Structure 1
């Protein structure tokens, strides 16, 4: 399209010139044949000056142009230059298609512009004098500037818009224009005296052409070295792989005179990254899972350079190409390739391969360094993310949550902090495994964030603890509404594989500025409110100052309990079990008691939950178990063939080493396994029946007796109870204590005894407080009883004395 517009401009300008100046009156022409040959030779043997990826052809066409301007009709001159130009460009330089059309249109513009400008300066019939010489020189310089601008415009449109910045480099041939114009003027003077001076003109032109061509080649050689140095400096300044690759590809295309350049480097997980520049396309990056095995550049991956010149073989969509290896480390090699040489070079040759290898060697060092720096950056970024984000859920962590809260407070924004804890999450981990627990935490985080939307920010503090920041919340009612909404969402079943789990939460709320002015105080008070909500089973609670009264005591009690367990300060007491059939004491239940040095007697209902929540229940249970077995051995040495019963916490059946520990303690105490009864609540068995059965089977294999404690207060499946290897069933005291006066409790106890006997279980009733209750249980067939009517729990030494003084008597205390 540009060539067409140039042709139209040429015709229009030439018509204006003829209309303005008319036709010349009988000029003294140089023979047109000589001009035709001169134009063909000068265009056919042009000197190419490379400007980055562009090429500007410098020729000696100014010599015949000067002769033609001074002696030939402009129309004939235009025809001669176009015909001679076509011959030189098409036959001698092999140009075809769009490029040939553009260059012919460019010759027409130059010729017409020169004729019009000279006519404007010197008139329609220029003479051959000093003034006209100056005019001709000016005209030829302007003509060359026009050509440089048009060539730069074509390159900018076709390939690189930044080519305009290199226009000054394209004008470096102006000195040659001045020289050749001067030669043309001298030749015109010589031809006026003797036409045989044309022979001398040819010699001068040939010498000038050869000298300037040698100069251009030498200059371009120096320029190539300078570009190589500039290439290395540019690489030194680039610190990332993408920047290095861009520089490498730009320089490869420019210095190798190629249409396309590509860099192939190994990526992550066996993939390959292909970085490409082609024509005017932007810098492209693609990731390929595999590379084509038949690609022409594949030998370069093995370390062998590849050179494919034009016409050597069919290689697909490229005309010619070079590929060289780029070592990245001891185990990885990339490939740097160029393809489709630009028209100003015939094809790629060995000299291009050597230059390309030099570029690849520099690129290898820089890419290796850049990849190492990229790895370091990724590691730093990952560490920074780990410092502020939870790796499991992707939510922000406590540190970032605190910073975000303090930022809102610094801006004066009221906020609400919601701290939530999953109820019974440890049971999920223990029963189903940590993988399921982790998946549950991820889904909880996603559900909270999805439900909350842009109303606030969700964070995970660790374990099963999440936090929510609500900017702009000013009232407890608004915060509670959000908490209730989140709690309701969490109660909806969460599908994990074939399971559907419920994640109930306890939520504590603190408001700023009412409950605190900074993140630490708000989180601490929301934590206090959350524990109150958990203990009171209220779900959501807003912090009050009354809540804080128990928090320090609770924390102090946990620390004191840990110390008491370590020092073995907890006392193990024993409550006897009586056979209703014989009146003999056949066993005792071991119970833990804690006398705090400051607070005095601490009820089991208070310190046992503390131990379970703080992770102290395991060492506490092992302490009771060890003391009980040692005392049982002592009783047996005294001649009392008795068993001892020890309560296990709900989490004990998820501890896979429990049977091994029991076996070891039995061996250390010298007590037969049949003398130990382990009491487990219904809820602890039903939490994970499959996992519990594995542990129970192993304990049963040891010979240990197993009992279900507090029967009737849980949600047992009778079918499941029948399958479990249990020996005893203990009826909860809440049904036993009123059987003498409440027929409903009597019915419950009667049914429990019958059920136990139907399952071949020993039935134990606890909470026997009077003789009437004892007699009633005997009539119902209950096997064993325990309670204050028999004896209160006694310390070990007192129990031994009581046991020795005991006179077996059914119905007596």
Structure 2
């Protein structure tokens, strides 16, 4: 493993060496022909030996500009470089550049090996290309301080800086085995402006040297003032950046409620804010338990125990509440102050006491500045103290939430378990049965009841009764363990249940008899041997053929049959279940029908009264029960209401109707869809969420959905219903009042409901051709609706005469057997094609001029008849 690690480390180093050799070779290949063929003469004024130490001095005095996660180094190399380009011959310039900068790295920065070789090769390539660029623009003999010379110097410096940025980016990419474009962008973004400023200063120096050397002190004074101003700017910029980062820290750590995630966020954000390599949270040991050290480094978190804090630890003073600042010598990486000598301390670090409100003592610390040329400062310490205060608040909040979550888990466990025996309760048992059904498993259920349990409570007291229940649970668990995956539950009182996955009725009866024998064994209570007995009912279920309530009901029937016959164990028989009411069977089967989507929607068309063109389809709910045959929709709604399935039923109808509409739209018929909902639905804001979800899932525009309500439904809880209806209308869903005219408050509330159409009840339409009073009511209703801007639909139009009459009275749409009877969904497209073909033939025979209006079909789905 060690050899593999060394080999993995050697490969990037070898690639960087190859890059350095390539740069050196390129420098030689480019320089030799040009310098030998054109030996430029030096410009008198500055000696070669003077610029060499200036190159070295520029390399030593580096300006560190802080960035988001590190610092960027900028040297003042442009000043001696411009002077060298101006006053030295190319050969002299290259030698002064490479020797001066290289000696500074070797002597002062103590670079060796790869780093030194790479930098020297880069210096050589920079100097050669910079010199060639300068002399390609500036011709020897011209004014050395003229505009032409300025342009040549600026371009040469830019070429040099771009070469440097590209070389450093290439070296980092070869080392990390991936290209990081951000390194190049950051180097160019910060380096080029600094290089241009330095070049301008250098050109001023050159100009003064040539024209007026005595003015150089004035320029020096200006440079000093600029440096001081720059430092003030850097200090303000750093303060603003730290304030922003501290704000981000508060935001990122304050919104986390998970304790572990809160600790991770605090450590990672602290490391980023302080530009540190490592962040740690040390929870100090107490008398009750050891401490913990949670360490974040490079995105990973490691936790270890802390038995005690040594006084030699560099941050031990933080335990007493004193903030600790550990520095290293700035500019000489890797050297620390005497404070960390012999203590195994990091290069540098900051540590602050962290005391949450509950008194749990901890120390938060960061170590090892990511940029080695910088160390932590007193300003960093102050920022870190503020950060630690916010961290303490965040940890308090996360700890409280974690404790509440733990309490919630306990409450959830209590909600699913019996507090006396610790067994699962009825809710947990029915959930297990439902889960087995969903998996399509076959299983048996045993339901048992203790005989004469009331006598035990009455004669020996409730303490003895509780003891009997506890022993019964223990015996059931002991014997039930013989059946793999068996589940024992206490349903309430003296009633227990056992779930036996994979067992049929015959095997379950054998197991129940073994249980019965164990339960009949004497139980020692209060110094006496109490003989108890039990009655056990057995039933079996197959996959999703029934509901858990139905299964328990059958087991309950069998258990009472066993109790009545005093046989101890009885399997369920069909003849024993004849007393089960029709509504119980429908309740059990409706849940399955809704879940498996076996309910059907049949569709009856709607048409425009003026043209006879189809404008919609009203969907009628159909349920063909395997035992009871056709079940009327009102009974379905009543059963769903009693069993709590109304929400699921409405959601199922909504989804099915919208899916049908999507299929017809894909076939070229852009149909609207309408769903009739109940009073409970329009008083429940969850309906709005379901509508949003189904419209999005089927890609249906809100305007293509019409929600139908009856006027009596809206009147039951008018204020609450109005909120839901307005929310639907705001989304663009259209609303319709069904069976209009049968209620008693229509005229008073119609103008307050956000509806778009009304449907005249078919009881009026049936009599419209016979009863003048009904015709008057229909006509008045139409006029009222039109005055309110509503569309009018006439239901129950059975023949052409009724159609003519409702058309004459101004109804916009009609439906009924006179147009078509309800049809299954798979027959609708065929009927629609035949109807449209018939309509085309009819329009062709029509003597009235002008084209027919385009067909605008609509689909309307309701859950009633």
Q: If the TM-score is normalised by the length of the shorter chain, which range does it land in? A: 0.5 to 0.7
Partners of 1:40 and 1:84 within 8 A in 2: yes
Partners of 2:106 and 2:116 within 8 A in 1: no
Give the whole-Å Cα distance in 1 for the aligned partners of 2:447 and 2:423: 14
Q: How far apart are 1:437 and its partner, in Å?
A: 8.6
Residue 369 of structure 2 corresponds to residue 353 of structure 1: no
Q: How far apart are 1:73 and its partner, in Å?
A: 7.8
2:163 corresponds to: 143
Residue 339 of structure 2 corresponds to residue 312 of structure 1: yes
Q: How far apart are 1:374 and its partner, in Å?
A: 1.8
1:46 corresponds to: 62
Residue 34 of structure 2 corresponds to residue 34 of structure 1: no
Report the more deviating stretch, 433-442 or 61-70.
433-442
Partners of 1:515 and 1:525 within 8 A in 2: no
Partners of 1:64 and 1:184 within 8 A in 2: yes
2:266 to 225, 242, 248: 248
1:522 corresponds to: 551
What SS class does the counterpart of residue 338 from structure 2 fall into? coil
Residue pairs, 1:216-615, within 5 angstroms: 216-265=234-283, 270-271=288-289, 274=292, 276-280=294-298, 282-286=300-304, 290-292=307-309, 294=311, 295-309=313-327, 310-314=337-341, 316-319=343-346, 320-342=348-370, 344=372, 347-389=375-417, 396-406=424-434, 409=437, 416-419=444-447, 441=473, 445=477, 448=480, 451-453=483-485, 459=489, 461=491, 467-469=497-499, 475-477=504-506, 479-480=508-509, 508-512=537-541, 517-530=546-559, 541-545=570-574
1:609 corresponds to: none
**Cα distance change on mapping 1:515 and 1:153 into 2, 3 Å:** closer
What SS class does the counterpart of residue 452 from structure 1 fall into? coil
Paired residue total = 534
Residue 21 of structure 2 corresponds to residue 11 of structure 1: yes
Partners of 1:392 and 1:442 within 8 A in 2: no
Report the more deviating stretch, 194-203 or 387-396.
194-203
2:77 to 45, 54, 61: 61
Give the whole-Å Cα distance in 1 for the aligned partners of 2:174 and 2:255: 32
Residue pairs, 1:743-762, within 5 angstroms: none
2:192 corresponds to: 174
The runs of 5 or more residues in structure 2 that have no matched partner are 1-9, 141-147, 328-336, 522-531, 582-865
Give the whole-Å Cα distance in 2 for the aligned partners of 1:279 and 1:105: 31
Q: How far apart are 1:376 and its partner, in Å?
A: 1.7
**Cα distance change on mapping 1:167 and 1:547 into 2, 3 Å:** farther
Give the whole-Å Cα distance in 2 for the aligned partners of 1:466 and 1:211: 84
Q: Deviations over 1:93-141 (max 9, x none)?
A: xx567xx767545534643553575588678797584664453244134
The runs of 5 or more residues in structure 1 that have no matched partner are 493-502, 553-813
Q: How far apart are 1:358 and its partner, in Å?
A: 1.3
Q: Which protein has the larger Cα radius of gyration, Structure 1 or Structure 2?
A: 1
What SS class does the counterpart of residue 316 from structure 1 fall into? coil
Give the TM-score taking structure 2 as reference length: 0.50
Partners of 1:507 and 1:539 within 8 A in 2: yes
Q: Deviations over 1:152-185 (max 9, x none)?
A: 759979xxx9997687556334311222234445
Q: Deviations over 1:439-486 (max 9, x none)?
A: 995796488468524xx766554688654446677x534655776899
Partners of 2:444 and 2:538 within 8 A in 1: yes
Q: Cα RMSD (Å) of the superposition?
A: 5.5
**Cα distance change on mapping 1:482 and 1:342 into 2, 3 Å:** same
Residue pairs, 1:557-706, within 5 angstroms: none
What SS class does the counterpart of residue 238 from structure 1 fall into? coil
Give the whole-Å Cα distance in 2 for the aligned partners of 1:79 and 1:422: 105
Q: Deviations over 1:758-785 (max 9, x none)?
A: xxxxxxxxxxxxxxxxxxxxxxxxxxxx
Q: How far apart are 1:362 and its partner, in Å?
A: 1.6
Give the whole-Å Cα distance in 1 for the aligned partners of 2:99 and 2:419: 75
**Cα distance change on mapping 1:417 and 1:356 into 2, 3 Å:** same
Give the whole-Å Cα distance in 2 for the aligned partners of 1:314 and 1:436: 71
Give the whole-Å Cα distance in 1 for the aligned partners of 2:369 and 2:439: 62
**Cα distance change on mapping 1:389 and 1:296 into 2, 3 Å:** farther
**Cα distance change on mapping 1:515 and 1:155 into 2, 3 Å:** closer
Give the whole-Å Cα distance in 1 for the aligned partners of 2:183 and 2:548: 59
Partners of 1:21 and 1:124 within 8 A in 2: no
**Cα distance change on mapping 1:437 and 1:511 into 2, 3 Å:** closer
Give the whole-Å Cα distance in 2 for the aligned partners of 1:488 and 1:78: 104
**Cα distance change on mapping 1:357 and 1:287 into 2, 3 Å:** same
Give the whole-Å Cα distance in 1 for the aligned partners of 2:533 and 2:91: 97
Give the TM-score taking structure 1 as reference length: 0.53
Partners of 1:241 and 1:367 within 8 A in 2: yes
Give the whole-Å Cα distance in 2 for the aligned partners of 1:55 and 1:338: 18
Q: Deviations over 1:621-651 (max 9, x none)?
A: xxxxxxxxxxxxxxxxxxxxxxxxxxxxxxx
Give the whole-Å Cα distance in 1 for the aligned partners of 2:175 and 2:515: 63
**Cα distance change on mapping 1:118 and 1:166 into 2, 3 Å:** closer
Give the whole-Å Cα distance in 1 for the aligned partners of 2:124 and 2:137: 16
